[in-house]
Structure 1
Amino acid sequence: MATPSSYCVKTDTLRAGTFLPLSVASSIYDCHFPKTLISCRSPIKLSLKFSNTYKGIGYLQIRSYISPRILTRTLVARADANRIDDDEAFEVNKDNGSSKTDADLEQQQKSSQLAKRVVFGLGIGITAGGVVLAGGWVFSVALAAVVFAGSREYFELVRSRGIASGMTPPPRYVSRVCSVICTLMPLFTLYKGQIDVSVASAAFVVAMALLLQRGNPRFSQLSSTIFGLFYCGYLPSFWVKLRCRLLAPALNTGVGASWPTLLGGQAHWTIGLIATLISISSIIAADTFAFAGGKAFGRTPLTSISPKKTWEGAIAGLTGCIFISVLLSKIFSWPTSILSAISFGFLNFFGSLFGDLLESMIKRDAGVKDSGSLIPGHGGILDRVDSYVFTGALAYAFVCNLLPVYGV
C-alpha cells in the first residue's frame, strides 16, 4: 500500500434515508481517478482511516455520526503504489455493518441456486413421471410443448452473437415456421406412426423458402435450419414411438397385475411404457452419479467442449446408469436377460452423454452459459432435455431391432 497520506472524498447530493455513491481517492494520485467504493446512508460527519495493510489490501473505515447512534461501515479497497483499480466491486452488509467477502456472497448465491434446482427439479420430475404414465395424447402434447420451447431456444442460439459472427443465421420468419413444424412432429408421430415423408417434405419447403428469399442466400442458413428440424423435432419424436407405439403388453411385470382397472389395468403396462421409464430413470441416474462422482473424484478432464466434465465423473455416471437399468429390469421383469439390461444401460448413458456434449458445443460457439432462463436454477429447456434428444431414438432402435421379441 502507498505510504499514509490524506484522502479526498466526494459524495453526491445527499438525500435522507437513501443510499448514495461514495468516492474516495488518495491525494498522492491527485484525485484524478476517484474510486467508487460503496453506497452508504447520508452522513452528517465522516471520519476516514486506513488500517494496517496486508498483501496490498487496505481497510478503509468510514464512521458516520448519525444521532442517536453511530453506524460504522468498513469497506475494502485494493490499491498499490501505482493505481487504484476501477474494476473492483465491493459489498457491505447493511444490517450489521460487517463487510461481506466475495467468498461469502458466492456461497450465498450457490446455496440459493441449489435450492432452486432442487425445488424445480422435483417439480419437473414428478410432472414428467405423471405424463409418462398417462401416455397417449397427454404425453405427446406435453412433448410437443417441450419441443416448441426447445426449438425457439435453438434458433435464438443460432442467431446469437457468438455463432452469427461467423455465419449468416436464417431469417426470423423461417426459424418461427421451423419451430411450428417441430412442434407438430410428435403429434403426427402419434397419429401416423411414421413421419419420414412428412419431415422430408417440410425440409424441402424450408429449403425453397431460404433459396427464394431476398438478398444473398447462404449455405449456413440452410444447414442450421435443416439441423434444427432434425435436432429439435425429428429426434424427440422417437420418444412418442417408444412410449405410445410399442403396445405389446409386458405380461411378466407384477406392477401391471396390481394396477387399478380404472387406469387401464394390466394392459396399461406395455413394453413401451417400461422401456421409457427405464430409459428416463437411467439417464437421471447417469447425470446424478456423474455430478457426484465428478465433485468427489474428478481430476482428469473429459473433453475441451465441457471443461467441468471429467473421466471420473463419466465412469461414475456409467456405473449409476447401468445399476438403475438392471435394478428396474428386475422390478419390471423386463428385459428378461440381465445382459440386455446392461446393454440398455450402456446405450442410455452414451446417448445422454453425447447429447449433453452436443448442446454444450452449441452453447460454447454461441458464447452463452445457458440456452435460456425458462426454468429457475436450471437454465433453459435445452439445458434440461439435451441428454434425452438422441436417447429416445437409440432406445427405440434397441428395443425393436436388437431385443428378440421386444425383450420379453
Structure 2
Amino acid sequence: MAVHAGLGRSNVVSVSSASLCPCSRSPSFFKPLELSFGSAKFRLTGVSSDGIYGIPVMRMPRHRIAMAVARAEPDRLDEGEAKEVVGCDLSEEEDKHSEEQHKASQLKDRVIFGLVIGISVGGIILAGGWVFTIGIAAAGFMSAREYFGLVRSDGISMGMTPPPRYVSRVCSVICALLPIWTLYVGHIDISVTSAAFIVAIALLVQRGNPRFAQLSSAMFGLFYCGYLPCFWVKLRCGLSVPSLNTKIGHLWPVLLGGPTHWTVGLVATLLTVSSIIAADTYAFLGGKAFGRTPLIIVSPKKTWEGALVGLAGCVATAVILAKLLSWPKSLLSAVALGFLIFFGSLFGDLTESMIKRDAGVKDSGSLIPGHGGILDRVDSYMFTGALSYSFIKTFMPLFGV
C-alpha cells in the first residue's frame, strides 16, 4: 500500500492512495488523511474515483509536501519512498550544519586577524615617521594591485577597455612612492601632477589604439590608491604641534619620545581611526539588530537603521576620545569631526562596493582570511584621512589645541 503526493500545474496537492482496500473502491473505506504545513493543518476526506485526494494550496516546495505526507501517514509509505523523504531531510540538515560551521570558522578568522591587524596598526600609528609612512605605502601598493585587478575583471572590462598591464604596474608603484615623497618634501601637489603626467604619456605611446576608458580608470586608480592615502601621512606626520593638554603624554616614557611625542597629528590620527572602527562596528551591529530599510542599491546589506546607529556610535566615540585625550578642546569641533569621519567612512565603503558590484565579485581579494583583500579593509579610510586633515587645518584654530 503506497501513498503518493504531488503538486500539479493548478497548485493542487494530489495524494494518491493505491489499493487502500482490495475489496472495494468506495470512499467509506478510505481513512481521513491529515497534513500539516507549518501552522496550517488540512484534513483530507474527499476522494475521487481513482483514489486521489485533492486540496488547493499556496506555492510550496515539493519536498516539504512529501515530508508532510510522511509525518502524517508514515505507515502508508513504501520503504524506498520513506528513505527518500528521510534522506532529503537529512541532506538539508547536513547543509545547514556545514553552513553554520563555515560561518563560525569565518567569524573566528575574522576576529583573530582583526585583533592582529588592530594591534599592528596601533603600533605603526604610535611609531609615526618613516614606519607609519612605509605602512601607508605598502597598503597603497597592495590596494592599487587589487583595484586594477577589479578593473580587468570580466564584469568591468566587458564595458570598457582596461589599461595595459604595464600601466597598471607603473600606477601601483607610483601609489607606493607618493606617500614616501609626501613625507620627504611635505606636500602633495607637484608629485601627483608629475605622476598623472607619466601615466598619461605611458597610455598615449602604447601600441594599438589608446582609449579614454584606459585613461579614466588609470587616473582614478592613481587618485584613489595614491593621492588619498598621502593625506594620512600629512595628518600623522604633518601636524607636528605638541598636544600639551593630552595627559597621557606626560606619562609617556622618555625613551619613546617623551611628552613631545604626543603631537596633534598622533592624537588626531588615533581619534580618526578609532571613530572609523566604531562607525563600522556599530553600523554592523545596528543593521543586524534593527535593519529593515535598504540604504542604497550598490550595497544591499546596508540599512538606514544600521547607518544611524553607526553615526551615533562614531560621534559618541569621537566625543569620548576628545575628553580623554583633551583634544580638540571644543566639544562642537569633536561632534563635527565625528560627523565628518562617519560620512567619509560610509562613502568610502560605498565607493568600493560600487566597484566590486560592477566587477561582479564579493571581495577585492583573499589576502586576509575572514576579511577579504586589503582594499576591503581600507576602503573606509580612503576619503577620511583627507577630510579629517582638511577640517583640522581649515576650521580648527591652532589645530584645536
Both proteins in one fold, TM over 0.5: yes
Query: Percent identical across equivalent pairs?
Result: 64
- Contact map agreement 1:250 1:271 (CA 8 A) in 2: yes
Corresponding residue for 2:357? Answer: 364
- Contact map agreement 1:57 1:76 (CA 8 A) in 2: no
Corresponding residue for 1:53? Answer: 66
Corresponding residue for 2:289? Answer: 296
The CA distance in 2 between the partners of 1:104 and 1:56, in whole Å, is 25
Cα-to-partner distance string for 1:326-377 (whole Å, 9 max, x where unaligned): 0000011000010000001001000000000000000000000000000000
Corresponding residue for 1:223? Answer: 216
Flag the structure with higher helix content.
Answer: 2
Gaps of 5+ in 2: 7-15, 19-64, 72-76
For residue 358 of structure 1, what is the amino acid of its counterpart?
Answer: T
Cα-to-partner distance string for 1:44-100 (whole Å, 9 max, x where unaligned): xxxxxxxx93269999999xxxxxxxxx9997359xxxxxxxxxxx96xxxxxxx74
Corresponding residue for 1:397? Answer: 390
Cα-to-partner distance string for 1:139-195 (whole Å, 9 max, x where unaligned): 011111111110000000000000000000000000001000000011111111112
- Written as runs of structure 1 = structure 2, the 5 A alignment for 1:162-311 is 162-311=155-304
Corresponding residue for 1:335? Answer: 328
- Written as runs of structure 1 = structure 2, the 5 A alignment for 1:32-181 is 53-54=66-67, 76-77=87-88, 100-181=93-174
The CA distance in 1 between the partners of 2:297 and 2:135, in whole Å, is 34
The CA distance in 1 between the partners of 2:375 and 2:134, in whole Å, is 17
Cα-to-partner distance string for 1:27-54 (whole Å, 9 max, x where unaligned): xxxxxxxxxxxxxxxxxxxxxxxxx932
Root-mean-square deviation (CA, aligned residues, Å) is 2.4
Aligned residue for 2:119, secondary structure, equals helix
Alpha carbons of 1:216 and 1:328: their partners in 2 closer, same or farther (altered >3 Å)? same
Alpha carbons of 1:226 and 1:56: their partners in 2 closer, same or farther (altered >3 Å)? farther
Alpha carbons of 1:376 and 1:60: their partners in 2 closer, same or farther (altered >3 Å)? farther
The CA distance in 2 between the partners of 1:150 and 1:205, in whole Å, is 20
Alpha carbons of 1:192 and 1:57: their partners in 2 closer, same or farther (altered >3 Å)? farther
Q: Using the TM superposition, give the Cα deviation of residue 101 of structure 1 relative to its aligned residue in structure 2, in angstroms.
A: 3.3
For residue 323 of structure 1, what is the amino acid of its counterpart?
Answer: A
The CA distance in 2 between the partners of 1:315 and 1:215, in whole Å, is 50
Alpha carbons of 1:61 and 1:336: their partners in 2 closer, same or farther (altered >3 Å)? farther
Q: Using the TM superposition, give the Cα deviation of residue 325 of structure 1 relative to its aligned residue in structure 2, in angstroms.
A: 0.3
- Contact map agreement 1:246 1:272 (CA 8 A) in 2: yes
Q: Using the TM superposition, give the Cα deviation of residue 103 of structure 1 relative to its aligned residue in structure 2, in angstroms.
A: 2.2
- Contact map agreement 1:60 1:74 (CA 8 A) in 2: no
Instruction: Return the index of the structure with the highest Cα Rg.
Output: 2
- Contact map agreement 2:188 2:230 (CA 8 A) in 1: no
- Contact map agreement 1:60 1:75 (CA 8 A) in 2: no
The CA distance in 2 between the partners of 1:323 and 1:332, in whole Å, is 14
The CA distance in 1 between the partners of 2:348 and 2:168, in whole Å, is 22
Query: What is the TM-score normalised by the length of structure 2?
Result: 0.80
User: What is the aligned counterpart of 1:373 among 356, 359, 366?
Assistant: 366
Q: Using the TM superposition, give the Cα deviation of residue 201 of structure 1 relative to its aligned residue in structure 2, in angstroms.
A: 1.2
Gaps of 5+ in 1: 6-51, 63-71, 79-89, 92-98
The CA distance in 2 between the partners of 1:163 and 1:186, in whole Å, is 28
**Across the two proteins, how many residue pairs are aligned to each other?**
336
Q: Using the TM superposition, give the Cα deviation of residue 297 of structure 1 relative to its aligned residue in structure 2, in angstroms.
A: 0.4
The CA distance in 2 between the partners of 1:317 and 1:407, in whole Å, is 25
For residue 384 of structure 1, what is the amino acid of its counterpart?
Answer: R
The CA distance in 2 between the partners of 1:53 and 1:115, in whole Å, is 38
The CA distance in 2 between the partners of 1:375 and 1:75, in whole Å, is 40
The CA distance in 2 between the partners of 1:389 and 1:74, in whole Å, is 53
The CA distance in 2 between the partners of 1:301 and 1:77, in whole Å, is 35
Query: What is the TM-score normalised by the length of structure 1?
Result: 0.78
